[in-house]
Structure 1
Amino acid sequence: MPLTCLTYNIHGGIGMDDALDLDRIVDVVRASGADLVALQEVDRHRRELTGHVDQAGYLARRLGMELAYAACLDDEPVAPSGERAQYGTALLSRIGLVDKGIRHLPCFDGSEQRGVLEAEVQVDGTPVRVLGTHLQWDREDERLAQAEAIVAGLDQRPTILLGDFNTEPGSPTHRLLATHLDDAWAGVGAGPGATFTAEPPPRRIDYIWLGGGLQARTAEIIDSVASDHSALRVVVELGRT
C-alpha cells in the first residue's frame, strides 16, 4: 500500500499575508491526500496572535485524523480556558498511531527545547516507525548535535523521519543524516525543491527521510499562502524483494 506523507511548518497558522486562518492549512493537507502528516510550529492555547486555540486538536478534528503532539514550550496558562500554553510539533494519521512518545534533543544555552515525536503505523501489516521533528533554526552546530541524537536512536526498522530541519543540502547536518537515511527529494524530486521562500534566497530546509527498506515513489512541493513554508509531499512504499 502506498503511503502518502506530508511535512508542513504551519507558522502557527499565520500566512504570507499575515492572516491567521487554520482552515487554509486544512485545505492544503486535505488536497494533498496525505495519510501521514508532520506539522511544526503548532500552538496550543498559547498566543493571543493565534487566538489561544488548540491548533493541533482543531486540525485533527477537521481532517478526521488521529493526533500525537509534542510540546517544545510548555508554559503556565494564559488563555481563558486555563489550559497550558504550548508550542511544538504534531503527527496526524489516517491509519492509526501507536506507541506515541517524545524524546528531547540536545539544547544549547538560550535555545528552545527541541524533540523527536515518535509513533508507529502499520503499512501492509508491517510496523513503520514515524519520527517528526523541528531542529534549531539559527545554529548549525546545535542542529548537528540534534541530528546526531536522532541518528543514535535509529535501528533497522522501516522508518520515516519528517520535519523542518532548518538546514540545506550539503550542510554537516544534512551529510550526517544522509549517511543513515535516504533524502526522498534527492531521490525522486525534480528541481531545487525549495520549501522556504519567505526570505531570499529560496532554501530547501524541510525533508522527508526514509530508511529500513522504504522507498520514495514521488515527491512534490505544495505552495500556498497559508504559511511561510511550502509543504513537502512524498509517496512512500515498502521496498519489494
Structure 2
Amino acid sequence: MTKPAPGPDQPPIPVRLVTFNTHHGVGEDARHDLPRLAKLLHSVDADVICLQEVDRYFGERSEDVDQALLLSRALDMQLAWGPAIDDPGPDDRPRQYGNALLSRLPILISDVHPLPGEGEPRSALRTMLELDGGTLWVTNTHLSAGRPDRRTEQVTALAALHTESMEAGVLVGDLNARPDAPELEPLQGRFSDAWDLAHDRDDQAGWRFWQREEGLTHPAHAPHRRIDQVWVTSGVTVAAAQVLDAGGASDHLPVMVDLLVQSGV
C-alpha cells in the first residue's frame, strides 16, 4: 500500500542535536575521564549527538578502550561509527580514531567517506535517521587544521555528498574555520548556518558581555573561535541554538541546536 502524502498542516518534527569535539575524552585537566564525558552528554537530553575526536582502542591516551561503544551503552543510544584513522592493532583489534553519532532515533543508513587532503586523515560520517513522518540526513565531520586549501577540497567533497533529494539535512562538526571563511563557500548553496538562523540563541562561552550570542567554542577555557558548527538545509528550521558549558571535559565547548524538521521529507 502506498503511504499517503502528509497534509500541509502536519507539524514539523522536533529534534535536539548536539555536536562536540571530545578531545578523545581528555579534559582541560589533562585527564582521560570517560564517565565525566558520559555524564555531560546525558545531561543535554539530546536526540542526536555528533562527536569528533573519538578513540577506539587507540592507546594509552584514552586507556585503550572503545569510547564510541562505551558512550553509546552509557547513554542507551544507537551508534554509528566513522573512522578517519584505521590502523592495524594487536589481537586483530584495529586502532581507530574518528567521528561517532549517537542517536535515540532509528539509524536507517550509515556510511563513511574519506575526505581529500594531505596530513592527518579526515572523513565524514553520513547517516539517515528515521523520524515519525520523515527522515533526517546528518553528516558529521572534522576538517583539517592549518592550510585552508585542504579544507576547500574537503568542503567541496562534503557538499557533493548531499543531493537534492535530501531535503532535510544537517552538516555538523569541527570545521576548523569560521563560518564566513572562503573555504566554506561551497556549503552556502545547499546549507545555511544554524546559529544565524536560530530564533533563540545563547552563548555560554560569552565570558565577556560583548561576546554573548557569538557561538564561540574554542578553546574551552577562553573561547574566541567559532569552529564547531551546525549547517542546515531548507527542510530544517532552527528554533534555538546554544553553546554549552563542557564542565572541563574537553578543550572545546559543545553546541546544541533545537531543530524542527519538515514532515514527509
Residue of structure 1 in register with 2:261 after alignment: 238
Equivalent position to 2:39, from 8, 23, 27: 27
Residue 38 (str. 1) matches residue 46 (str. 2): no
Q: Which amino acid aligns with 2:53?
A: E
The TM-score normalised by the length of structure 1 is: 0.93
Q: Which amino acid aligns with 1:59?
A: L
Identify unmatched segments of 5+ residues in structure 1: none
Residue 203 (str. 1) matches residue 225 (str. 2): yes
Residue 227 (str. 1) matches residue 241 (str. 2): no
Residue of structure 2 in register with 1:151 after alignment: 159
| Pairwise CA distance, 1:45 | 0.5
Residue of structure 1 in register with 2:6 after alignment: none
SS in 2 for 1:103: strand
| Pairwise CA distance, 1:117 | 0.6
- Pairwise CA RMSD: 1.8
Equivalent position to 1:163, from 164, 173, 176: 173
| Pairwise CA distance, 1:125 | 1.6
The TM-score normalised by the length of structure 2 is: 0.85
Residues 134 and 164 of structure 1 are in contact (CA less than 8 Å); yes or no, is this contact kept in structure 2?
yes
Residue of structure 1 in register with 2:96 after alignment: 86
Residue 73 (str. 1) matches residue 81 (str. 2): no
Q: How many residues align?
A: 237
SS in 1 for 2:18: strand
Residues 2 and 236 of structure 1 are in contact (CA less than 8 Å); yes or no, is this contact kept in structure 2?
yes
Equivalent position to 1:181, from 179, 183, 191: 191
Change (3 A) 1:214 1:91: same
Structure 2: how far apart are the matches of 1:94 and 1:154?
23
Q: Which amino acid aligns with 1:179?
A: G
Identify unmatched segments of 5+ residues in structure 2: 1-12, 203-212
Residue of structure 2 in register with 1:133 after alignment: 141
Residue of structure 2 in register with 1:10 after alignment: 22
Instruction: Render the CA deviation track for 1:32-91: whole Å, top value 9, x for unaligned.
Output: 11101110000011121210000000000000011111111111215xx65111111101
